[in-house]
Amino acid sequence: MKDKITKGLFLFVIFTAAAYAIIFFFYLKGVPRNAKIDFNWVFISGIIILFVIYNYFNILRVYFLGRIFSKEFTFYDSASFTLGGVLLALITPFQAGGMPFQLYIMSKRGIAPGEGTSILISRGFQSILVFIVTIPFTMIFFSQLLTGSMVAMLLRYFMILYSILFLTAFILIAFTNKIKKYFESKRINKKVLSFIFRILDEVINFKKGIISMFTKGLKENMISILCSFIALYAGFAVTYFLVRMVYGRDDFFLAFNIQFILTYLSAFVPTPGSSGVAEGGIALLYSQVVAKEQIIIFIFLLRLITTYIPAFLGLLLMFDKKNVFREMK
């Protein structure tokens, strides 16, 4: 486990360093001489408060989902699940490495794989729900830019992508048995057929888990959804204070909406932890609110607060002496 994490971190550092180098040489085109940080106590307090809110409620959203299936699932388990997942997402393509890790910790608390899968997928759908609720306001906010701009292209990309995801999920959930019978009637390679059936079986398990969430666990599920909105909105809002720290533009909603776009964009990047693309996206989109000579500092501060520190906390939790993940080989 330690070897895999070390290798993943090495790749992440390489991609990230390359991104900073490219931004430095091709975007800044020289050493910034007027770079500075405003250590205003209001900005620092705002960053700390929103950082705590984001991570605390991000942990709570999983805690309440886990409690539906196991009363043994603790806040500490949820913290390991969430922050350990951040670490493994940081070192794997498409941020997918945390899922086996998270299923394992749930299984140690008596949560069956199918139930654990429903928690993982529900957590993902909660993020999509936040997207659906927020995207109309973002489109209205950026309405003046929706003609040939980068923002317009990204918004259209999101609308198409998430529409396809929802349609695919709906078809799989609504017609699982019919899809299974269809593939059974076809002459397909056994390995391919087995892979397809594993996916469909997980869909069936997911449906069972969802039924439990909206029956015996309805209260916990609703609280978890509320925690998702609080956590993600705090994550989007923290960038305003980071922008102000580097003497950027005083526009809360602009910073909020840019971070909203970047957050959902980074979820579909193949590099470990979105390294490279995240830094480039920050430089591109935040150039509207942050001066060029400040952009490198801003990128580092933003990634530090939203990614590096939570991943480091996840590393500490993963290898804490009391953590069940120390049992993994």
In a domain, 29, yes or no: no
Torsion of CA 85, 86, 89, 94, to 10 degrees: 110
In a domain, 219, yes or no: yes
- Higher pLDDT residue, 138 or 147? 138
In a domain, 26, yes or no: no
Provide the pLDDT for residue 290: 93
Domain count, the chain: 1
Provide the pLDDT for residue 32: 67
Provide the pLDDT for residue 242: 97
Provide the pLDDT for residue 324: 47
Does residue 313 have a pLDDT over 80? Answer: yes
Q: Mean pLDDT, to the nearest integer, of 139-166?
A: 69
Provide the pLDDT for residue 163: 77
Provide the pLDDT for residue 144: 60
Q: Note down the domain range covering 267.
A: 2-12+40-327
Cα 243 to Cα 289: distance, rounded to the nearest angstrom: 7
Provide the pLDDT for residue 45: 97
Confidence of residue 160 (pLDDT cuts 50, 70, 90): confident
Determine if residue 180 is left, alpha or beta; phi over 0 gives left, psi from -120 to 50 gives alpha, anything else beta. alpha
In a domain, 307, yes or no: yes
In a domain, 308, yes or no: yes
Does residue 122 have a pLDDT over 90? Answer: no
Q: Mean pLDDT, to the nearest integer, of 268-291?
A: 79
Q: What percent of the chain has pLDDT over 70?
A: 87
In a domain, 19, yes or no: no
Does residue 327 have a pLDDT over 60? Answer: no
Residues 240 and 256 sit within 8 Å (Cβ to Cβ) = yes
Q: Mean pLDDT, to the nearest integer, of 3-29?
A: 78
Does residue 146 have a pLDDT over 60? Answer: no
Check the CA dihedral 311-313-318-319 and report its sign.
positive
What does 125-140 look like in DSSP terms, one character per residue? HHHHHHHHHHHHHHHH
Most confident range (mean pLDDT) of 94-98, 110-114, 270-274 is 110-114
In a domain, 305, yes or no: yes
In a domain, 274, yes or no: yes
DSSP count for the chain of H helices, then E strands: 13, 0
